[in-house]
Amino acid sequence: MIPLITAEQFLSMQTASVILPSGEDGEPDIARIKTALRQATGVIAAHLPWLLDETGEIGRPVNPQFSDALEAVCADLALDRLTDTVTSSENTRNKYKESLALLEKINREYQGGLEGPGYQGSEVVISGEGNIPDGRFFKKGKVF
């Protein structure tokens, strides 16, 4: 699975106090980081299967409504996989739980907002020239 973020993006999101696995040269172990990012992306895809395209990968670009949150969740989940779970702090464990809760919330909002009988989708929103449908996701409302 192609990770949502690159190892470079992941490293730029970390503070200096985060201890990451390193190679013999003392630099962060990029191979382990890439593996953790793939695994984190897999967790996200398992919670949000509607993100997957026909190839089984997360469709690109990720909808702007969710992209920043999903990138942060991917980084948090990968960090949890990279750190020692025995010595990790309570904050790290809470951050992991909050990330999973956010995925569940996004899924509930998507499912509740975009599915169900008697609801109108965003397809009625027309933008610009040529009556191009607006691709953003909105909560549906009853059509009277």
Q: Is the pLDDT of residue 115 over 50?
A: no
Confidence of residue 71 (pLDDT cuts 50, 70, 90): very high
Angle at 29 between CA 28 and CA 35, to 5 degrees: 130
Alpha-carbon distance 32 to 107, whole Å?
29
20 has a pLDDT exceeding 70: yes
**60 has a pLDDT exceeding 90:** no
83 SS3 class: coil
Confidence of residue 136 (pLDDT cuts 50, 70, 90): low
Mean pLDDT computed over 34-49: 93
Check whether 85 has a pLDDT greater than 80.
no
**Section 9-37 average pLDDT:** 88
| pLDDT grade for 34, boundaries at 50, 70 and 90 | very high
Q: Tell me, what's the pLDDT at 127?
A: 52
- Alpha helix segments (H runs only) across 1-63: 7-13, 30-47
Query: How confident is the prediction for the chain on average, in pLDDT?
Result: 78
Asked whether the bond before 117 is cis by omega within 30 degrees of 0, the reply is no
**CB burial of residue 109 (10 Å; 0-12, 13-18, 19+):** middle
User: What span, in angstroms and rounded, lies between the C-alpha atoms of 20 and 35?
Assistant: 13
User: Do 59 and 53 meet the contact criterion of CB atoms below 8 Å apart?
Assistant: yes
The separation between CA 102 and the C-alpha centre of its own chain, rounded to angstroms, equals: 9
